[in-house]
A and B are shown apart, each in its own frame.
Chain A
Amino acid sequence: MKRIILEYQQVDLILTRICHELVEKHGDFKNAALIALQPRGVFLGKVIQTKLNTLFNITTPCGELDTTFHRDDFRRNDKPLIPNVMNINFEIEGKDIILIDDVLYTGRSIRAALDAINDFGRPASMELVTLINRKYKREVPIHPDYVGENVDSRTDDYVKVDWNENKCKVWIITDKSK
Protein backbone atom coordinates (compact mmCIF):
# COMPACT_ATOMS: atom_id res chain seq x y z
CA MET A 1 0.00 0.00 0.00
CA LYS A 2 1.17 3.46 -0.80
CA ARG A 3 -0.11 6.70 0.68
CA ILE A 4 0.93 10.31 0.69
CA ILE A 5 1.87 11.68 4.09
CA LEU A 6 2.95 15.15 2.97
CA GLU A 7 1.68 17.04 -0.07
CA TYR A 8 3.67 19.72 -1.94
CA GLN A 9 2.04 22.53 -0.03
CA GLN A 10 2.63 20.95 3.37
CA VAL A 11 6.30 20.42 2.57
CA ASP A 12 6.54 24.04 1.51
CA LEU A 13 5.02 25.21 4.80
CA ILE A 14 7.33 22.94 6.78
CA LEU A 15 10.44 24.21 4.99
CA THR A 16 9.33 27.81 5.56
CA ARG A 17 9.00 27.01 9.26
CA ILE A 18 12.45 25.39 9.33
CA CYS A 19 13.96 28.46 7.65
CA HIS A 20 12.44 30.64 10.37
CA GLU A 21 13.89 28.39 13.04
CA LEU A 22 17.30 28.53 11.36
CA VAL A 23 17.23 32.32 11.19
CA GLU A 24 16.08 32.50 14.80
CA LYS A 25 19.20 30.56 15.77
CA HIS A 26 21.77 31.81 13.25
CA GLY A 27 20.59 35.36 12.56
CA ASP A 28 22.15 36.74 9.40
CA PHE A 29 24.14 33.52 8.78
CA LYS A 30 27.45 35.42 8.97
CA ASN A 31 29.13 32.43 10.56
CA ALA A 32 26.86 29.66 9.35
CA ALA A 33 26.80 27.49 6.23
CA LEU A 34 24.63 24.70 4.85
CA ILE A 35 26.01 21.29 3.88
CA ALA A 36 23.64 18.85 2.23
CA LEU A 37 24.21 15.11 2.04
CA GLN A 38 24.56 13.39 -1.32
CA PRO A 39 22.55 12.21 -3.07
CA ARG A 40 19.06 13.08 -1.83
CA GLY A 41 19.76 15.73 0.77
CA VAL A 42 21.10 17.99 -1.96
CA PHE A 43 17.64 18.76 -3.38
CA LEU A 44 16.47 19.77 0.07
CA GLY A 45 19.62 21.81 0.69
CA LYS A 46 19.08 23.82 -2.51
CA VAL A 47 15.45 24.55 -1.61
CA ILE A 48 16.38 25.71 1.89
CA GLN A 49 19.18 27.86 0.45
CA THR A 50 16.76 29.49 -2.02
CA LYS A 51 14.08 29.95 0.62
CA LEU A 52 16.50 31.66 3.02
CA ASN A 53 17.31 34.04 0.22
CA THR A 54 13.73 34.83 -0.81
CA LEU A 55 12.32 35.05 2.72
CA PHE A 56 15.18 36.81 4.51
CA ASN A 57 17.54 37.97 1.79
CA ILE A 58 20.23 35.75 3.28
CA THR A 59 22.96 34.47 0.99
CA THR A 60 24.68 31.40 2.34
CA PRO A 61 26.70 28.70 0.60
CA CYS A 62 25.34 25.17 0.36
CA GLY A 63 28.00 22.47 0.09
CA GLU A 64 27.41 18.95 -1.15
CA LEU A 65 28.90 16.25 1.04
CA ASP A 66 29.37 12.69 -0.14
CA THR A 67 29.81 10.17 2.65
CA THR A 68 30.44 7.04 0.57
CA PHE A 69 34.08 6.61 1.58
CA HIS A 70 33.17 6.97 5.26
CA ARG A 71 30.30 4.52 5.35
CA ASP A 72 30.53 1.60 7.73
CA ASP A 73 28.77 -0.97 5.54
CA PHE A 74 31.46 -1.20 2.85
CA ARG A 75 32.21 -4.89 2.15
CA ARG A 76 29.28 -5.84 4.39
CA ASN A 77 26.68 -5.19 1.79
CA ASP A 78 26.10 -6.87 -1.56
CA LYS A 79 25.37 -3.57 -3.25
CA PRO A 80 28.37 -1.64 -4.59
CA LEU A 81 28.95 1.74 -2.96
CA ILE A 82 29.55 4.19 -5.77
CA PRO A 83 30.54 7.72 -4.73
CA ASN A 84 28.82 10.95 -5.73
CA VAL A 85 30.24 14.40 -6.35
CA MET A 86 31.65 16.27 -3.38
CA ASN A 87 31.43 20.02 -3.58
CA ILE A 88 32.45 22.11 -0.60
CA ASN A 89 34.24 25.15 -1.94
CA PHE A 90 34.24 27.22 1.22
CA GLU A 91 36.13 27.14 4.49
CA ILE A 92 34.32 25.21 7.24
CA GLU A 93 36.90 25.78 9.98
CA GLY A 94 35.23 27.64 12.85
CA LYS A 95 31.85 27.82 11.07
CA ASP A 96 28.46 26.74 12.38
CA ILE A 97 27.59 23.96 9.97
CA ILE A 98 24.01 22.93 9.29
CA LEU A 99 23.83 19.41 7.89
CA ILE A 100 20.81 18.66 5.72
CA ASP A 101 19.33 15.31 4.75
CA ASP A 102 15.87 14.28 3.64
CA VAL A 103 15.20 11.24 5.84
CA LEU A 104 16.80 10.36 9.16
CA TYR A 105 16.33 6.69 9.93
CA THR A 106 19.17 4.52 11.30
CA GLY A 107 21.42 7.57 11.68
CA ARG A 108 24.36 5.83 10.05
CA SER A 109 24.58 8.24 7.10
CA ILE A 110 24.83 11.14 9.53
CA ARG A 111 27.49 9.30 11.52
CA ALA A 112 29.45 8.93 8.26
CA ALA A 113 28.82 12.61 7.48
CA LEU A 114 30.20 13.72 10.85
CA ASP A 115 33.29 11.68 10.04
CA ALA A 116 33.58 13.02 6.47
CA ILE A 117 33.24 16.65 7.57
CA ASN A 118 36.37 16.28 9.69
CA ASP A 119 38.41 15.92 6.50
CA PHE A 120 37.62 19.52 5.67
CA GLY A 121 38.39 21.09 9.02
CA ARG A 122 36.89 21.63 12.47
CA PRO A 123 33.57 23.46 12.47
CA ALA A 124 32.59 25.46 15.55
CA SER A 125 29.36 23.49 15.76
CA MET A 126 27.19 21.15 13.74
CA GLU A 127 23.42 20.82 13.63
CA LEU A 128 21.12 18.57 11.70
CA VAL A 129 18.05 19.40 9.61
CA THR A 130 15.88 16.55 8.40
CA LEU A 131 12.60 16.66 6.54
CA ILE A 132 11.44 13.29 7.84
CA ASN A 133 12.47 11.85 11.19
CA ARG A 134 11.63 8.13 11.14
CA LYS A 135 11.52 6.76 14.64
CA TYR A 136 12.10 3.31 16.14
CA LYS A 137 15.21 2.15 14.33
CA ARG A 138 17.99 4.50 15.33
CA GLU A 139 21.24 2.52 15.45
CA VAL A 140 23.52 5.30 16.68
CA PRO A 141 22.87 8.07 19.21
CA ILE A 142 22.03 10.84 16.72
CA HIS A 143 19.16 13.25 17.03
CA PRO A 144 18.00 15.99 14.63
CA ASP A 145 17.88 19.65 15.70
CA TYR A 146 15.28 20.75 13.14
CA VAL A 147 12.58 18.26 12.11
CA GLY A 148 10.05 18.62 9.32
CA GLU A 149 7.78 15.78 10.33
CA ASN A 150 8.12 12.90 12.78
CA VAL A 151 6.95 9.67 11.22
CA ASP A 152 6.09 6.55 13.19
CA SER A 153 6.65 3.80 10.68
CA ARG A 154 7.30 0.10 10.90
CA THR A 155 10.76 -1.13 10.01
CA ASP A 156 9.55 -2.83 6.85
CA ASP A 157 7.86 0.36 5.61
CA TYR A 158 9.56 2.55 3.05
CA VAL A 159 9.43 6.34 3.14
CA LYS A 160 9.95 7.99 -0.21
CA VAL A 161 10.65 11.68 -0.73
CA ASP A 162 9.57 12.36 -4.26
CA TRP A 163 11.17 15.46 -5.81
CA ASN A 164 9.71 17.22 -8.78
CA GLU A 165 12.00 20.14 -9.61
CA ASN A 166 11.98 22.23 -6.44
CA LYS A 167 8.91 20.71 -4.86
CA CYS A 168 8.45 17.42 -3.16
CA LYS A 169 5.85 15.20 -1.60
CA VAL A 170 6.41 12.34 0.78
CA TRP A 171 5.02 8.85 0.38
CA ILE A 172 4.93 5.99 2.77
CA ILE A 173 4.93 2.56 1.21
CA THR A 174 3.79 -0.22 3.49
CA ASP A 175 3.81 -3.08 1.02
CA LYS A 176 7.33 -3.61 -0.30
CA SER A 177 6.19 -5.32 -3.48
CA LYS A 178 4.85 -1.99 -4.78
Chain B
Amino acid sequence: MSALSTQHLLGIKDITLQDIQLIFKTADNFKQVINRPIKKVPSLRDVTIANVFFENSTRTKISFELAEKRLSADVVNFSSSSSSVKKGETLIDTVNNILAMKVDMVVMRHPAPGAHQFLARHISANIVNAGDGTHEHPTQALLDAYSLQEKLGDLKDRKIVIVGDILHSRVALSNIYCLQKLGAKVRVCGPPTLLPKFIHSLGVEVSHNLIESLQWCDAANMLRIQLERQEDKYFPSLREYSLQYGVNLELLKKLKKNIVIMHPGPINRGVEITSDVADSDQSIILDQVENGVAIRMSVLYLLAGKKIE
Protein backbone atom coordinates (compact mmCIF):
# COMPACT_ATOMS: atom_id res chain seq x y z
CA MET B 1 0.00 0.00 0.00
CA SER B 2 1.19 3.52 -0.69
CA ALA B 3 1.39 6.63 1.45
CA LEU B 4 -1.41 8.99 2.49
CA SER B 5 -2.68 11.30 -0.23
CA THR B 6 -2.40 14.31 2.06
CA GLN B 7 0.12 16.11 4.27
CA HIS B 8 -2.50 17.24 6.74
CA LEU B 9 -5.56 15.67 8.30
CA LEU B 10 -8.01 18.53 8.09
CA GLY B 11 -11.20 16.57 7.64
CA ILE B 12 -12.55 13.24 6.44
CA LYS B 13 -14.12 14.96 3.45
CA ASP B 14 -10.67 15.59 1.93
CA ILE B 15 -9.21 12.10 2.31
CA THR B 16 -9.77 9.01 0.20
CA LEU B 17 -11.04 5.53 1.02
CA GLN B 18 -7.48 4.26 0.50
CA ASP B 19 -6.25 6.74 3.11
CA ILE B 20 -8.82 5.49 5.60
CA GLN B 21 -7.88 1.87 4.93
CA LEU B 22 -4.18 2.67 5.31
CA ILE B 23 -4.83 4.45 8.61
CA PHE B 24 -6.82 1.43 9.86
CA LYS B 25 -4.19 -1.07 8.76
CA THR B 26 -1.43 0.89 10.47
CA ALA B 27 -3.63 1.29 13.57
CA ASP B 28 -3.78 -2.53 13.82
CA ASN B 29 -0.02 -2.51 14.33
CA PHE B 30 -0.18 0.26 16.89
CA LYS B 31 -2.95 -1.48 18.78
CA GLN B 32 -0.57 -4.39 19.14
CA VAL B 33 2.15 -2.02 20.35
CA ILE B 34 -0.01 -0.45 23.07
CA ASN B 35 -0.95 -3.87 24.39
CA ARG B 36 2.66 -4.96 24.84
CA PRO B 37 4.62 -4.72 28.09
CA ILE B 38 6.65 -1.88 26.54
CA LYS B 39 4.04 0.31 24.91
CA LYS B 40 6.38 2.55 23.03
CA VAL B 41 8.17 2.72 19.68
CA PRO B 42 10.90 5.18 18.70
CA SER B 43 9.49 6.18 15.29
CA LEU B 44 8.94 9.88 15.95
CA ARG B 45 11.92 10.42 18.23
CA ASP B 46 13.12 13.39 16.17
CA VAL B 47 9.68 14.96 15.77
CA THR B 48 8.24 17.70 17.95
CA ILE B 49 4.48 18.06 18.14
CA ALA B 50 2.54 21.01 19.51
CA ASN B 51 -0.93 20.36 20.90
CA VAL B 52 -2.69 23.67 20.47
CA PHE B 53 -6.12 23.68 22.08
CA PHE B 54 -8.25 26.79 21.77
CA GLU B 55 -11.20 24.90 23.22
CA ASN B 56 -11.50 22.68 26.24
CA SER B 57 -10.84 18.99 25.86
CA THR B 58 -9.90 16.16 28.15
CA ARG B 59 -10.31 12.95 26.22
CA THR B 60 -9.00 14.06 22.84
CA LYS B 61 -6.07 15.94 24.33
CA ILE B 62 -5.01 13.07 26.56
CA SER B 63 -5.47 10.62 23.72
CA PHE B 64 -3.31 12.68 21.35
CA GLU B 65 -0.69 13.29 24.00
CA LEU B 66 -0.50 9.62 24.85
CA ALA B 67 -0.29 8.70 21.16
CA GLU B 68 2.55 11.19 20.70
CA LYS B 69 4.43 9.90 23.71
CA ARG B 70 3.97 6.27 22.64
CA LEU B 71 5.63 7.27 19.37
CA SER B 72 8.49 8.93 21.29
CA ALA B 73 7.75 12.41 19.94
CA ASP B 74 8.56 15.50 21.96
CA VAL B 75 5.36 17.20 23.02
CA VAL B 76 4.51 20.79 23.88
CA ASN B 77 1.07 21.63 25.17
CA PHE B 78 -0.66 24.90 24.69
CA SER B 79 -4.11 25.91 25.79
CA SER B 80 -5.68 29.23 25.02
CA SER B 81 -6.96 29.83 28.53
CA SER B 82 -3.43 30.25 29.88
CA SER B 83 -1.79 31.97 26.92
CA SER B 84 -1.24 35.25 25.10
CA VAL B 85 -4.39 34.61 23.08
CA LYS B 86 -6.08 36.28 26.00
CA LYS B 87 -3.93 39.33 25.23
CA GLY B 88 -5.24 39.51 21.67
CA GLU B 89 -2.66 37.54 19.68
CA THR B 90 -3.92 36.24 16.33
CA LEU B 91 -4.08 32.55 15.45
CA ILE B 92 -1.36 32.75 12.86
CA ASP B 93 0.97 34.68 15.17
CA THR B 94 0.43 32.20 17.97
CA VAL B 95 1.17 29.23 15.77
CA ASN B 96 4.11 30.90 13.99
CA ASN B 97 5.65 31.60 17.35
CA ILE B 98 5.28 27.98 18.28
CA LEU B 99 6.74 26.91 14.94
CA ALA B 100 9.71 29.24 15.40
CA MET B 101 10.62 26.90 18.21
CA LYS B 102 11.04 24.20 15.51
CA VAL B 103 7.85 22.23 15.82
CA ASP B 104 7.14 19.68 13.06
CA MET B 105 3.46 18.97 13.60
CA VAL B 106 0.54 20.86 15.05
CA VAL B 107 -2.50 19.16 16.55
CA MET B 108 -5.10 21.84 16.91
CA ARG B 109 -8.61 22.28 18.24
CA HIS B 110 -10.23 25.58 17.40
CA PRO B 111 -13.80 26.93 17.74
CA ALA B 112 -13.80 28.39 14.20
CA PRO B 113 -14.73 25.97 11.40
CA GLY B 114 -11.99 26.05 8.76
CA ALA B 115 -9.27 27.39 11.09
CA HIS B 116 -7.11 24.41 10.10
CA GLN B 117 -7.43 25.02 6.37
CA PHE B 118 -6.34 28.59 6.98
CA LEU B 119 -3.36 27.43 9.00
CA ALA B 120 -2.35 24.76 6.50
CA ARG B 121 -2.04 27.43 3.82
CA HIS B 122 0.20 29.62 5.92
CA ILE B 123 2.58 27.49 7.90
CA SER B 124 4.96 24.67 7.12
CA ALA B 125 4.04 21.87 9.48
CA ASN B 126 1.76 18.84 9.28
CA ILE B 127 -1.59 19.84 10.74
CA VAL B 128 -4.01 17.52 12.45
CA ASN B 129 -7.51 18.71 13.13
CA ALA B 130 -8.60 17.78 16.63
CA GLY B 131 -11.96 19.48 16.13
CA ASP B 132 -12.90 22.76 14.46
CA GLY B 133 -16.09 24.24 15.81
CA THR B 134 -19.14 22.45 14.46
CA HIS B 135 -17.31 21.35 11.30
CA GLU B 136 -15.15 18.20 11.56
CA HIS B 137 -13.43 15.97 14.08
CA PRO B 138 -11.68 13.51 11.80
CA THR B 139 -9.80 11.36 14.30
CA GLN B 140 -13.00 10.73 16.25
CA ALA B 141 -14.75 9.55 13.09
CA LEU B 142 -11.81 7.30 12.23
CA LEU B 143 -11.74 5.69 15.65
CA ASP B 144 -15.53 5.27 15.61
CA ALA B 145 -15.45 3.53 12.25
CA TYR B 146 -12.41 1.47 13.27
CA SER B 147 -14.13 0.31 16.47
CA LEU B 148 -17.29 -0.53 14.54
CA GLN B 149 -15.35 -2.46 11.96
CA GLU B 150 -13.69 -4.42 14.74
CA LYS B 151 -17.11 -5.37 16.07
CA LEU B 152 -19.13 -5.80 12.86
CA GLY B 153 -16.53 -6.64 10.21
CA ASP B 154 -16.72 -4.93 6.83
CA LEU B 155 -18.99 -1.88 7.06
CA LYS B 156 -20.24 -2.11 3.49
CA ASP B 157 -24.04 -1.92 3.52
CA ARG B 158 -24.12 -1.90 7.32
CA LYS B 159 -26.70 0.45 8.78
CA ILE B 160 -25.57 3.06 11.26
CA VAL B 161 -27.76 5.61 12.95
CA ILE B 162 -26.36 8.78 14.51
CA VAL B 163 -28.70 10.01 17.21
CA GLY B 164 -29.02 13.39 18.86
CA ASP B 165 -27.55 16.81 18.35
CA ILE B 166 -26.46 16.66 14.70
CA LEU B 167 -26.64 20.44 14.32
CA HIS B 168 -23.80 21.23 16.71
CA SER B 169 -21.83 18.05 16.21
CA ARG B 170 -18.51 17.90 14.40
CA VAL B 171 -18.43 14.21 15.28
CA ALA B 172 -21.63 13.66 13.28
CA LEU B 173 -20.37 15.33 10.13
CA SER B 174 -17.02 13.52 10.15
CA ASN B 175 -18.76 10.25 10.96
CA ILE B 176 -21.15 10.66 8.04
CA TYR B 177 -18.28 11.26 5.58
CA CYS B 178 -16.22 8.40 6.98
CA LEU B 179 -18.99 5.79 7.14
CA GLN B 180 -20.22 6.67 3.66
CA LYS B 181 -16.70 6.31 2.25
CA LEU B 182 -16.57 2.85 3.82
CA GLY B 183 -19.86 1.96 2.11
CA ALA B 184 -22.17 2.04 5.14
CA LYS B 185 -25.72 3.35 5.07
CA VAL B 186 -26.11 6.28 7.42
CA ARG B 187 -29.18 7.69 9.04
CA VAL B 188 -29.47 10.61 11.41
CA CYS B 189 -32.15 10.75 14.05
CA GLY B 190 -33.06 13.59 16.36
CA PRO B 191 -35.54 16.35 17.02
CA PRO B 192 -36.09 18.58 13.96
CA THR B 193 -34.54 21.53 15.78
CA LEU B 194 -31.25 19.66 16.15
CA LEU B 195 -30.93 18.57 12.51
CA PRO B 196 -29.21 21.03 10.16
CA LYS B 197 -31.18 22.26 7.14
CA PHE B 198 -28.68 20.96 4.58
CA ILE B 199 -28.61 17.44 6.04
CA HIS B 200 -30.35 15.86 2.99
CA SER B 201 -27.56 17.06 0.74
CA LEU B 202 -25.16 14.69 2.53
CA GLY B 203 -27.09 11.71 1.22
CA VAL B 204 -28.20 10.41 4.60
CA GLU B 205 -31.61 9.23 5.67
CA VAL B 206 -33.40 11.42 8.18
CA SER B 207 -35.73 10.24 10.89
CA HIS B 208 -37.31 11.68 13.97
CA ASN B 209 -38.38 8.31 15.36
CA LEU B 210 -35.80 6.71 17.65
CA ILE B 211 -37.40 3.29 18.09
CA GLU B 212 -37.92 2.80 14.39
CA SER B 213 -34.33 3.89 13.74
CA LEU B 214 -32.95 1.48 16.30
CA GLN B 215 -34.96 -1.33 14.67
CA TRP B 216 -33.41 -0.39 11.34
CA CYS B 217 -29.77 -0.14 12.38
CA ASP B 218 -26.82 -2.39 13.20
CA ALA B 219 -25.19 0.24 15.37
CA ALA B 220 -26.23 3.48 17.03
CA ASN B 221 -23.87 6.34 17.75
CA MET B 222 -25.44 8.33 20.56
CA LEU B 223 -24.14 11.90 20.44
CA ARG B 224 -23.75 14.06 23.46
CA ILE B 225 -26.15 16.93 23.97
CA GLN B 226 -23.78 19.87 23.77
CA LEU B 227 -25.25 22.12 26.36
CA GLU B 228 -22.37 24.59 25.96
CA ARG B 229 -23.28 25.25 22.32
CA GLN B 230 -26.97 25.85 22.91
CA GLU B 231 -27.59 29.47 23.73
CA ASP B 232 -31.11 29.04 22.42
CA LYS B 233 -33.33 26.26 23.63
CA TYR B 234 -33.70 23.54 21.03
CA PHE B 235 -35.96 21.32 23.10
CA PRO B 236 -38.19 22.00 26.10
CA SER B 237 -36.17 20.15 28.72
CA LEU B 238 -33.45 17.52 29.12
CA ARG B 239 -36.04 15.22 30.63
CA GLU B 240 -38.21 15.48 27.55
CA TYR B 241 -35.24 14.91 25.26
CA SER B 242 -34.26 11.88 27.26
CA LEU B 243 -37.78 10.45 27.02
CA GLN B 244 -37.88 10.90 23.23
CA TYR B 245 -34.29 10.25 22.22
CA GLY B 246 -32.58 8.59 25.16
CA VAL B 247 -31.73 4.89 25.08
CA ASN B 248 -32.30 2.68 28.10
CA LEU B 249 -31.87 -1.04 28.61
CA GLU B 250 -35.59 -1.74 28.45
CA LEU B 251 -35.74 -0.17 25.00
CA LEU B 252 -32.76 -2.21 23.81
CA LYS B 253 -34.36 -5.45 25.01
CA LYS B 254 -37.54 -4.66 23.09
CA LEU B 255 -35.58 -4.54 19.82
CA LYS B 256 -35.06 -8.32 19.87
CA LYS B 257 -31.68 -7.89 18.20
CA ASN B 258 -28.28 -6.86 19.45
CA ILE B 259 -27.23 -3.51 18.17
CA VAL B 260 -23.89 -1.89 18.93
CA ILE B 261 -24.02 1.23 21.10
CA MET B 262 -21.39 3.91 20.69
CA HIS B 263 -20.81 7.27 22.31
CA PRO B 264 -18.01 9.75 21.58
CA GLY B 265 -17.93 10.88 25.20
CA PRO B 266 -18.22 12.56 27.58
CA ILE B 267 -21.52 10.86 28.40
CA ASN B 268 -24.37 12.75 30.01
CA ARG B 269 -25.51 9.64 31.87
CA GLY B 270 -29.27 9.46 31.96
CA VAL B 271 -29.69 11.87 29.04
CA GLU B 272 -28.49 10.22 25.79
CA ILE B 273 -28.03 6.80 27.34
CA THR B 274 -28.65 5.41 30.77
CA SER B 275 -25.83 3.99 32.89
CA ASP B 276 -26.92 0.39 32.38
CA VAL B 277 -26.70 0.84 28.59
CA ALA B 278 -23.32 2.57 28.80
CA ASP B 279 -21.95 -0.30 30.86
CA SER B 280 -23.68 -3.12 28.94
CA ASP B 281 -22.04 -5.70 26.66
CA GLN B 282 -23.51 -3.97 23.64
CA SER B 283 -21.63 -0.79 24.36
CA ILE B 284 -18.19 -0.32 22.79
CA ILE B 285 -17.55 3.04 24.43
CA LEU B 286 -14.34 1.97 26.17
CA ASP B 287 -13.10 0.18 23.02
CA GLN B 288 -13.53 3.51 21.27
CA VAL B 289 -11.27 5.16 23.82
CA GLU B 290 -8.59 2.47 23.50
CA ASN B 291 -8.75 2.55 19.72
CA GLY B 292 -8.51 6.34 19.86
CA VAL B 293 -4.88 6.11 20.90
CA ALA B 294 -4.05 3.55 18.19
CA ILE B 295 -5.81 5.57 15.47
CA ARG B 296 -4.08 8.78 16.52
CA MET B 297 -0.70 7.04 16.57
CA SER B 298 -1.42 5.80 13.08
CA VAL B 299 -2.43 9.25 11.81
CA LEU B 300 0.60 10.96 13.37
CA TYR B 301 2.97 8.29 12.11
CA LEU B 302 1.66 8.37 8.55
CA LEU B 303 1.60 12.19 8.41
CA ALA B 304 5.10 12.46 9.89
CA GLY B 305 6.28 10.36 6.95
CA LYS B 306 5.01 13.07 4.62
CA LYS B 307 7.57 15.84 4.68
CA ILE B 308 6.37 19.39 4.21
CA GLU B 309 8.10 21.06 1.26
Report A's interface with B, CB cutoff 8 A.
Answer: 66, 68-70, 74-75, 80-86, 115, 118-121
Counting residue pairs across A and B whose Cβ atoms lie within 8 Å, the total is: 51
Cα distance A2–B97 in the bound complex, in angstroms: 55
Partner of A119, one of B3, B29, B38: B38
Cα distance A81–B301 in the bound complex, in angstroms: 9
Docked-complex contact B37 and A69, CB < 8 angstroms: no
Cα distance A75–B33 in the bound complex, in angstroms: 20
Q: Please, which residues of chain A bring their CB within 8 A of the CB of B302? A: 80
Chain B interface residue count, CB cutoff 8 Å, equals 26
Check B304 for interface membership: any CB of A closer than 8 A: yes
Query: Which of these binds chain A: B40-48, B247-255, B269-277, B286-294?
Result: B40-48
Check B1 for interface membership: any CB of A closer than 8 A: yes
Check B201 for interface membership: any CB of A closer than 8 A: no
Check B36 for interface membership: any CB of A closer than 8 A: yes
**18 A-B contacts (beta carbon < 8 Å):** A66-B29, A68-B29, A69-B33, A69-B42, A69-B301, A70-B43, A74-B304, A75-B47, A75-B304, A75-B305, A80-B4, A80-B306, A82-B26, A84-B29, A118-B38, A119-B37, A120-B36, A121-B37
Cα distance A115–B41 in the bound complex, in angstroms: 10
Q: Please, which residues of chain B bring their CB within 8 A of the CB of A66? A: 29
Shortest CB-to-CB span from A75 to chain B, Å, is 6
Partner of B305, one of A80, A84, A120: A80
Known: A69-B41, A83-B26. A74 touches B305 (CB 8 A): yes
Specify the main secondary structure of chain A where it touches its partner: loop
Specify the chain A residue showing the minimal Cβ separation from B301. A69
Q: Please, which residues of chain A bring their CB within 8 A of the CB of B22? A: 82
Cα distance A70–B41 in the bound complex, in angstroms: 7
Q: Please, which residues of chain A bring their CB within 8 A of the CB of B230? A: none
Cα distance A66–B29 in the bound complex, in angstroms: 9
Docked-complex contact B37 and A82, CB < 8 angstroms: no
Shortest CB-to-CB span from B152 to chain A, Å, is 22
Cα distance A68–B32 in the bound complex, in angstroms: 13
The 6 closest A-B pairs by CB, nearest first: A80-B3, A69-B41, A83-B29, A119-B38, A69-B43, A80-B305
Shortest CB-to-CB span from B126 to chain A, Å, is 11
Cα distance A99–B202 in the bound complex, in angstroms: 52
Cα distance A117–B269 in the bound complex, in angstroms: 44
